[in-house]
A and B are shown apart, each in its own frame.
Chain A
Amino acid sequence: QVHLQESGPGLVKSSETLSLTCIVSGGSFSGYFWGWIRQPPGKGLEWIGYIYSHGTTNYNSSLKSRVLIAVNTSKNHFSLSLNSVTAADTATYYCARGGGSTWEFDIWGQGTLVTVSS
């Protein structure tokens, strides 16, 4: 059973960098793509970006200038860095596995709330 778990600070100061890691356990890392999605309080899901296991990335154009997603296949984890954060980046952040060439996310982590403080 594949399991995803997000980890990282729950509080980040404004203008600093938000950094999260998603640990993948119980299954193969290769051959999939791995995504980050967030949900601000009271709002809907927003796609941040994804990375293939071989390293190719794609990002939401609204966040592209501030986002970096990286993968470490030897440790079965991938990470998210979002710089120059503001209060608008306060959200629950989810990592998820992309299940195939049709772009659905079939397995999700539980999510982690990150609050940006001034």
Chain B
Amino acid sequence: SYELTQPPSVSVSPGQTASITCSGDKLGDKYVSWYQQKPGQSPVVVIYQDTKRPSGIPERLSGSNSGNTATLTISGTQAMDEADYYCQAWDSSNVVFGGGTKLTVL
């Protein structure tokens, strides 16, 4: 079965850039979405179709996808960005989520 691999945790200082990776076989051939989930809340899509931001999502969040790796980049990270982030893609009629990355803003 298809797997998406994310680092369990990423730490960043306020104002710096955070990068969260998502790896999978030929992931660049698929569309990747990213979800933000804060404690006790439902997931919220922050990036879809690799690079697109839904309305209301700050421009400091951006996405890329090439080869075997998709990346969520948060520029000028703020305390409010501290959350769990999940990548997601479709493979052979199955929806796959990455294991999630806890972003800590120190």
Answer yes or no: do A and B interact.
Answer: no
Chain A interface residues (CB < 8 Å from chain B): none
Chain B interface residues (CB < 8 Å from chain A): none
